[in-house]
Chains A and B, each alone.
Chain A
Amino acid sequence: MKIRRIAAVWAAKTAGFVCKKMGRQGVTWAGKIALKIYPPILKELAAEVRKDIFAVCGTNGKTTTNNMLCAALEAEGQKVICNHTGSNMLNGVVAAFVLGAKLNGHMDADYACIEADEASTKYIFPQISPDYMVLTNLFRDQLDRYGEIDITMNILETMIRSVPEMKVIVNGDDALSAYLAMDSGNPCVFYGISRPVMKNETNEIREGRFCKKCGARLEYSFYHYSQLGDYSCPQCGFKRPLPDYDAEDVQVGDRLSFRVENRLISANYKGFYNVYNILAAYAGVRTAGFQAEHFTDMLKKFNPENGRMEQFRIQGTGILLNLAKNPAGFNQNISAVMQDPSPKDVIIAINDNAQDGIDISWLWDVDFDRFGEESIRSITVSGIRCQDMRLRLKYVDIPSILEPDVEKAIRDRIKDGTGNLYVLVNYTALFSTRSILKKLEGEQK
């Protein structure tokens, strides 16, 4: 059996190498091969992790939180296995372990930080039995794949209960996530933001307006965004838990800063939602028992290069690339863009491949009317479903330029734009758009 395991690791490493050479993102291929050769490989390699395994779940912020948590643990001198690229289904998780294994087929890692797609937890959790789970939030996403948000919640609850000792580190500002964690009976650690930060006057779609416990309408003293905020149930007493890690004095602008446990944390990021990602990673590394003295230093250097708020500079144009794949995420993206008062161009690329969700109805749940301001000089719609995106903008009286070819759209705006370009793309458009930007960046050298 030992031989098969080594064979699996070698084959996967070869496959991973070939993929890289061919410029393919597909590490999942390596995972698939390894599983085929030696099915118990994930269980065995996971058992060899010396200390603990983290699983990171939730609709938005998984990849950023997981990468940050990994970097935070590494900053504490730990050796960590991580599925950095966000390949978060079974094959992607297997790939992270086999590609991180030594050539003798054994692991050499203190921790594993594993981002797991919610629906895939049922295949992943029984193999890796996480010690901690970070649950970031639950929003509507890919309804064509999951059916309904209730179905996702049922899967997650079953999986949490299946590992009863697993500590759940959960965003207490999200009534859905907090309810799941509390109801599971597992030990919980909460993080959150106790005071309102941004004015929230948008007409956003909010999930879970009714108490999961008793069905009564939840009351909110304020919203941060989407359904995140300070809630309580007037009927059964279910309410937002007091956070163990509370972000105070939150400042959002060109950069973010806040205090937690009397520590000042600041980062060169845009987007209020990143406060939650940073806070989740912080809560994770603290819950694992570290003092997290190196956390702020880690943040300064943190650059995951994965298209999440990634900056490029091409022929004098500053370009910010970001992922926007569901209404909650897109609305946060719009907030981040609108925080920049200078003139700007926006490119929106929407695909409808299987990994994106083939149903693009969600575009109509995004508050695009907020782009109807003078500082937005042009909007170019691109990607497979650019026609739908153009129509979406038409119905908030915002004209747009149709250019199905993302590369041409970017080249055009570099040529004739304001020098300040935001590129917002959904999942499968992310890797290709990032490659295009990397290529254009290379051309000027």
Chain B
Amino acid sequence: MKLTIGHLYPDLLNLYGDRGNIQCLMKRCQWRGIEAETIAFESNDRVDFSGLDIVLLGGGSDREQMLVCEKLKEIRDDFKSYVESDGVVIAICGGYQLLGKYYKTDQGTITGLELVDMYTEQGEGRLIHNIVLKSELFDMPIVGFENHGGRTCIQNNKPLGKVLTGAGNDETSGYEGVVYRNVIGTYLHGPLLPKNPQLADWLILRALKKKYGEEVELTDLDDTQEKEANDYIYKRFVK
């Protein structure tokens, strides 16, 4: 089996250790004997979604998101059909905001990909915290770090998790992130995946099932170190 990960625009969206998320997906495939490859699409490259099994859209500064916004227009239709045919996407921070209709800032409005019915507006001050979520998808808590000025409204979509500590989507709803088909959008970096191996495996398994059929299963890995690192954050900030 083989998975191909598409990393979109790392030349523009590369804040906060996105490399760690790629590294984590690659290693967790390779440790199981699944071949894994990452293709980085820079802002001048053409993105061919047909060869991709997981798409990672990372975080960038507001200025860089403005630049990225232009590029997104070109791929919006292809990206939309990828998502609607259950393609796997992990979108983080700036990338999460771009999933929606728009991100309104005091510098202007960034048009999003409109992949998920949601929108973001800049609020008063940045939300900068360690953050812990409880998600229905996993028994381990999701831990990470948030640093965003935007407040995201996910309308009637399902959130990724309930906020146990931290701000989340908009400080008030008590929820964080979004799950739509095989798309996960979230403000959490830290980076997100290494300390949340169940989330990483969710993405890998969804991609494998889509490519090789529903009967695919993942072999267990020794996640002692991942669990201890996750548990440290949980105990320090929640319990």
Contact = CB atoms under 8 A, between A and B. Distances in A.
Contacts, number: 79
29 contacts: A143-B15, A144-B145, A144-B147, A150-B62, A205-B14, A215-B67, A217-B44, A358-B130, A359-B145, A359-B147, A359-B189, A360-B190, A361-B16, A361-B20, A361-B190, A362-B17, A364-B20, A364-B23, A364-B191, A365-B17, A365-B19, A387-B229, A388-B229, A390-B225, A391-B229, A392-B20, A394-B225, A395-B23, A395-B194
B19 A387 contact: no
Given A391-B226, A397-B27, 16 more contacts: A143-B15, A144-B128, A150-B61, A205-B14, A217-B11, A361-B16, A361-B145, A364-B17, A364-B191, A364-B194, A365-B17, A365-B20, A387-B229, A388-B195, A390-B225, A396-B23
Contacts of B232: 387
A397 to B, nearest CB: 8
Contacts of B181: none
3 residue pairs, one from A and one from B, having the closest CB atoms: A364-B20, A364-B17, A361-B17
B213 to A, nearest CB: 29
B209 interface: no
Among A144, A361, A362, A392, residue most surrounded by chain B Cβ atoms (within 10 Å): A361
A310 B17 CA distance: 29
A336 to B, nearest CB: 22
A148 B13 CA distance: 12
A396 to B, nearest CB: 8
Interface residues of B, number: 31
A148 B27 contact: no
B24 interface: yes
B16 A143 contact: yes
A185 interface: no
B126 A147 contact: yes
Given A359-B16, A361-B17, A147 B228 contact: no
Contacts of A363: 17, 20
Contacts of B20: 361, 363-365, 392, 395
A209 interface: yes
B15 A391 contact: no
Contacts of A387: 225, 228-229, 232
Contacts of B229: 387-388, 390-391
Interface string B59-101: 0011100010000000000000000000000000000000000
Interface in A203-238: 205, 209-210, 215, 217
A360 B130 CA distance: 10
Nearest to A367: B19
Contacts of A209: 11
A390 B24 CA distance: 14
Nearest to B232: A387
A163 interface: no
Nearest to A361: B17
A392 B229 CA distance: 11
A391 B147 contact: no
A149 interface: yes
Nearest to B14: A205
